[in-house]
Structure 1
Amino acid sequence: MKYNKILPAIALSCMLFTSCDDNLMDWGKDPDHGDITSAELPLELAEKISRYEPLKTYTDFKLGSGIDLNLYMNDAVYQSLVNENFDEVTLGYDMKHGPMVAANGDLKFDKIDAFIAKTKEAGLSVFGHTLVWHQNQNASYLNSLIAATIIPGSSGPSSLDLTALKAGALTGWSAWNAGAGITVVDGAGLVSGTKAVKLISSASSSSPYQLQLITPLIPIVSGHKYEISFFIKSDQTGQGRVAFDAVPALTNSYPQKDWYGTGAAKSSFFATNSSWQQVKFTLDGADFVAGSTNFKFNFDLGSLPNVTYYVDVNTIAAVDLDAVQTVTNLITNGNFESGALSPWSGYGNNSTRAISASGAGHSGNYAMVLMNPAAANNYEAQQVFSLSTPLEINKEYTCTFWVKSDVPAALQFELQGANYNADYSGTFNVTTSWTQVVKKITTTKGDRAKFIFDFGATAATFTIDDIVLTDGSTTGGGAGTPAVTIEKTDAEKATLIGGAMENWISKMVGHYKNDIHAWDVVNEPMKEGGSLRDGVVNNPAADEFYWVKYLGKDYAVTAFKLARQYGNATDKLFINDYNLEASLAKCDGLIEYVKYIESKGATVDGIGTQMHITLSTNKDQIAQMFQKLGASGKLIKVSELDIALGTKSPTLEQLANQSAMYQYVIDSYRQYIPKAQQYGITIWGVSDNVEEHKNWLTDQAPNVWDAEYKRKHAYKGVADGLAGKDVSKEFTGDIIIP
């Protein structure tokens, strides 16, 4: 076998470092020297790096890589580098709460199941990252669990017929474009157990009318104002408007009119989120086409794709604000203007009952006349009205009527139920002049189905008119009551969020019980000074949710217990944080928190230190951090190691210093962490390729392979650190050219 030249190796070196040593020889046979021996060949750095084995060859602890799921599944070169060089992989994003948890709290496993299957084929283990964190959460879902209960106000009865929706059907309603579906669903309304209309925009939806639900016809009275209102929420940030079907009824069917907001913020669109909110605005006379007798309005919810909206059925209303407001009377014949007593009936003590002569009523032509011929007791003579349905229990009702008698007399009324049990008004005096009686009475049972006048105590003739029994509800328009917001108590929130944590951890850990045997259970619990985060944050991001805010200091205790309960007894459960090398106080605080967690009966197997560092990171503090972590007695993992250079075009010196820093970190880990506590090191990211750095360390060149997936100088630093020596010193320099 002949060794005759090294041109390919020199070319590789030039390509990697952009310049070559001008003094390098063009190796070939020198006739004055004889054959070239391998010991005489110069071995350049690029050639050395190319001769290194895969990284995992050089260590017996777990060597991991923080990877991108889509690149691993779809980029063959990327996948090959990961498979050849690492024992374990950690997904940077896709296994976190945000991407895994759906709007209803269910988990979406398909994507990760496919990933797990692919890593099994390659012989890789997967590190679970991460169960309980404050970022990358489905905060919309979690906040919806603890959102205040909103009881909608009423401006009066709606002119819109909701009969079909309340029965679970869309009969009479229409949709120009139903998007990804419009249905009426049970249990999704504002109040527990009530119905909501569920509307889903399609993946391509981009215009309001691409998801549109149209009401039945709503009758209108010329000149009257109408209030449109409803409660709505969505599984993520959404946008909607109300438009009007061209009957024609409105002067602006697809409004540019700003219905919502105030001042400069007024808009024809409203925003939605995971909390119920009321949309309300008023149509006045100028908004209607003259002569219109009815109109329709549309829910236009197609502006944004893949949004699921819920509109509470019971709160959709079109109220005539100028309608005459009247009290709802449970006595259907209380003014006797029909000239008949029905459905009143009576008996006892030879009493009689009749309609008065025309003109003898209090405010109209007729009244009810009751005659008791002889004094007895109240109950000997009674006049009864049977209600259509029993009254509600423990509810206050008001009874008013006008009454007079031919002689001073006594009278009472009662609300009677089964077995003659009743709630009584008490006896009151009646004079010979018309007097209005106003009495409040509260029901004590839910069977009160009869209203009864007891008039047997006095021999007298009573004339009674304008009888009203009401619970205070009204019909017609006019000013109503505002919405009422009921906040959940701290205890209620703790129960709901505790349940959400168990749902998440039990399903996640349980589903992957046979596939994943190490987890980041709690991520980034500490503040920089070493105290525990408290969740008090101004303007949190859309995906931020602080479990500690609702579950307190023991949130991590609960998380570790749940991870152990639903996983395996031998699983390795970690707590993980960043900047432990930059803030030794934070490192101390994390170790103390681990002690607290274990004092409460949970077990923490390991501590992860992320180590997102730079060339200027203090090396002495790195050593001190490892010494502190080693003294904890726990498994120690460098969980997210990368070294940012601050540029995407580093110099040779920066590349060399990056390599030296990688080696220093690994050397320090091996030096200060006892062998039995060395879980392993995970390098965060594979290469400097832009696809890996869209959301992390953009233009920082932090990784071991460059943007073209070629080994950088850092590859040698990592390998030498793992091996505990300069591996390249053992190379002979022989290059075989076929």
Structure 2
Amino acid sequence: MKRHTLLYKLALVALIGLLSACEKDPINILNANTYTADGSLKTATTAFPVGLSIDYDLFLNNAQYRSVVAADAQSTTFGYHMKHGALVRNDGTIDFTKADALYDACKTAGIEVFGHTLGWHQNQNATYLKTITGGGSGPTAVNLVANGSFESGSGDNFNNWGKYNGGTSLVATSVTSEVQAGTKALKIVVTADGNPWNVQMASDEFATTVGKTYNMTFFIKSAVAGGQMRISTGGTGSTAQYSGNYSTSTDWVQKTYSFTANGPMTRVLIDIGSKANTYFMDNVVVVDASASVPPTGGALVTAVDNALKDFITQTVTHYKGKVKAWDVVNEPVSESGTLRTDANTTVSATATDYFFWSKYLGRNWALKAFQYAAAADPTAELYINDYNLESNSVKLDSLIGYVAELKGKGAKITGIGTQMHVLWNTPYSGIDNMFKKLAATGLKIRISELDVRMNPNKKTQFVLNKQFESYQADMYAYIVRSYLTNVPVAQQSGITVWGITDNTSWLYENGLDFPLLYNKDYSKKAAYYAVLKTLKEK
């Protein structure tokens, strides 16, 4: 039912023209409806999950926030804590502690978790990634570990290495499939789970400078995925230091550990007694970080490829059987429709979390990401995800073309996510066009990060009054209706709203915008009822 007179609406149209320079769609202005419906979002439809993005601290520590999510969400996406920057430490190890805590809390609440995100150019631990590609600017690095390739020695004896607690479980292997490079490698057979130090291999001591940073790299794989080990340091005049735990897969992966010397002599120890498995290790290198030189050519490509593979493989394997769907590749296309690179993306001078896989791996970086994810969990649904598809037809067509290209090369792609960070007056025609074109791919389609900005020009005098709330509600309702109308039921895989309350949105900016379904006090806005009513209409 219409709530306002035409005269009042026309006056507001003039006001709106002062608040936004964006293109207007008259339908958005004149169709301000009242929405009423009973029930919750999670029970409004059985066709697909309705989800909400959540914040780690709020979900774990705010009972009201958590109860709202539990009441309305069938699924959730972590806003940050499954991204590279959240999981990867500066030494390259992966710490799932916070992600696991959040996952466990969701499981307790009966909420599914959608994995987000495995391959992106932002929210990366670029500090770690740049140790792979950037190195230092000093002289050529010298490996401080003698016989780090395990080429010297025979049987269960290695020159320049000592064995502790492991007995004859540490032996030389020359089997081609068990060697990363050269003719020999270290083979470790761990027969039972135990303490990390139950099986140890220690290098000879080497001279170090107190306070100086050293970078250690090594290659490792295991007979069965899911192995575990760590690195520790010691030596004359030095106190022990420990890396985080490294997980292993059945493929060779290069690991990195950085440490600051605290004594004049240091040795590195391979602590590998935690998990029963058969391990293969090769090419241990320790260099003065200031003397490190970055790899070049094919070695550089391999190093970056290994970093991508290691992150995706470990993360997907860790959540195999728990997380059933992933955003594998996020925002791969620029606004001009080209593959996103560092050359066509604006990066703030103060940003420290950007890293472009495409710079090193080219167009096939996304293909590799999908291949690694599919290998780690063949049953998982795998998505590609991007934004502005409803407002940029060039980008939309380019993304669809890129998906076809990747699938033609063998990528397993289950579906496409459209983020839909839209404006209250985004043209409806673009929304319809997007859903029709996405549906024509035959893939599953999901709305992955929905919010509706009300004050895109950040006018400080903006107030979200009842009139603007109704416009926002209309936009939410139209998006849901267009999705239900233009995407066949079999291809509908979900709608996720990107947050809970307005004041916790990434767009809030101290009260400049109000893009979500709930007010600051957790009361439901008109937009909430618009989504609920529209979902129940089908």
Verify: 1:699 aligned to 2:512, yes or no. yes
Unaligned runs of 5+ in 2: 1-32, 141-200, 217-257, 266-289
Verify: 1:52 aligned to 2:41, yes or no. no
Q: TM-score, normalised by structure 2?
A: 0.64
Verify: 1:723 aligned to 2:532, yes or no. no
Equivalent of 1:651 in 465, 472, 479: 465
Partner of 1:544: 354
Verify: 1:115 aligned to 2:102, yes or no. yes
1:469-527 deviations in whole A, cap 9, x for unaligned?
Answer: xxxxxxxxxxxxxx987442131111011111111111100000021000000000000
Partners of 2:472 and 2:448 lie apart in 1 by: 18
Unaligned runs of 5+ in 1: 1-44, 154-186, 198-212, 214-229, 236-307, 316-482, 726-738
Q: TM-score, normalised by structure 1?
A: 0.47
Q: Find the residue that maps to 2:382 and give its secondary structure.
A: strand
Equivalent of 1:88 in 60, 68, 75: 75
Q: Find the residue that maps to 1:519 and give its secondary structure.
A: strand
Residues 697, 129 of structure 1: alpha-carbon distance in 2 compared, 3 angstrom cutoff: farther
1:615-662 deviations in whole A, cap 9, x for unaligned?
Answer: 121111111111110111110000000001127730111000000100
Partner of 2:273: none
Verify: 1:501 aligned to 2:308, yes or no. yes
Partners of 2:208 and 2:366 lie apart in 1 by: 37
Q: Find the residue that maps to 2:447 and give its secondary structure.
A: strand
Partner of 2:475: 661
Answer 1 or 2: higher relative contact order, Cα 8 Å, separation at least 6: 2
Partners of 1:670 and 1:146 lie apart in 2 by: 46
- Deviation for aligned residue 1:152: 4.0
Residues 548, 144 of structure 1: alpha-carbon distance in 2 compared, 3 angstrom cutoff: same
- Deviation for aligned residue 1:52: 1.8
- Deviation for aligned residue 1:555: 0.6
Q: Which amino acid aligns with 1:100?
A: L
Q: Which has the higher helix share?
A: 2
Identity %: 38
Partners of 1:68 and 1:610 lie apart in 2 by: 18
Partner of 2:57: 70
- Deviation for aligned residue 1:720: 1.6
- Deviation for aligned residue 1:549: 0.6
Residues 234, 613 of structure 1: alpha-carbon distance in 2 compared, 3 angstrom cutoff: farther
CA contact (8 A) 2:507 2:514 kept: no
Q: Find the residue that maps to 2:480 and give its secondary structure.
A: helix
Partner of 2:148: none
Partner of 1:553: 363
Equivalent of 2:115 in 108, 115, 128: 128
CA contact (8 A) 1:644 1:697 kept: no
1:9-33 deviations in whole A, cap 9, x for unaligned?
Answer: xxxxxxxxxxxxxxxxxxxxxxxxx
- Deviation for aligned residue 1:103: 1.3
Verify: 1:490 aligned to 2:297, yes or no. yes
Residues 194, 312 of structure 1: alpha-carbon distance in 2 compared, 3 angstrom cutoff: farther
Partner of 2:189: none
CA contact (8 A) 2:507 2:515 kept: no
Verify: 1:612 aligned to 2:428, yes or no. no
Residues 701, 193 of structure 1: alpha-carbon distance in 2 compared, 3 angstrom cutoff: farther
Partner of 2:190: none
Residues 606, 612 of structure 1: alpha-carbon distance in 2 compared, 3 angstrom cutoff: same
Aligned CA-pair RMSD: 3.5
CA contact (8 A) 1:581 1:622 kept: yes
Verify: 1:637 aligned to 2:414, yes or no. no
Aligned length: 378
CA contact (8 A) 1:576 1:607 kept: yes
Partners of 1:111 and 1:664 lie apart in 2 by: 37
Q: Which amino acid aligns with 1:681?
A: I
Partners of 1:194 and 1:592 lie apart in 2 by: 54
Q: Which amino acid aligns with 2:430?
A: Q
CA contact (8 A) 2:132 2:294 kept: no
Q: Find the residue that maps to 1:581 and give its secondary structure.
A: coil
CA contact (8 A) 1:645 1:700 kept: yes
List aligned pairs for 1:189-588, cutoff 5 A: 196=208, 232=213, 310=260, 486-536=293-343, 539=349, 541-569=351-379, 571-588=380-397
- Deviation for aligned residue 1:692: 4.3
Verify: 1:672 aligned to 2:486, yes or no. yes
- Deviation for aligned residue 1:699: 2.8
Partners of 1:586 and 1:193 lie apart in 2 by: 56
CA contact (8 A) 2:419 2:450 kept: yes
Partners of 1:194 and 1:595 lie apart in 2 by: 53
1:250-291 deviations in whole A, cap 9, x for unaligned?
Answer: xxxxxxxxxxxxxxxxxxxxxxxxxxxxxxxxxxxxxxxxxx
Equivalent of 1:627 in 436, 446, 450: 436
CA contact (8 A) 1:67 1:91 kept: yes
Partners of 2:401 and 2:378 lie apart in 1 by: 26
Q: Which amino acid aligns with 1:59?
A: T
- Deviation for aligned residue 1:546: 0.5
Partner of 2:497: 683
Partner of 1:714: 527
Q: Find the residue that maps to 2:355 and give its secondary structure.
A: coil
Q: Which has the larger radius of gyration?
A: 1
Partner of 2:254: none
Residues 309, 106 of structure 1: alpha-carbon distance in 2 compared, 3 angstrom cutoff: closer
Verify: 1:137 aligned to 2:124, yes or no. yes
Q: Find the residue that maps to 1:516 and give its secondary structure.
A: coil
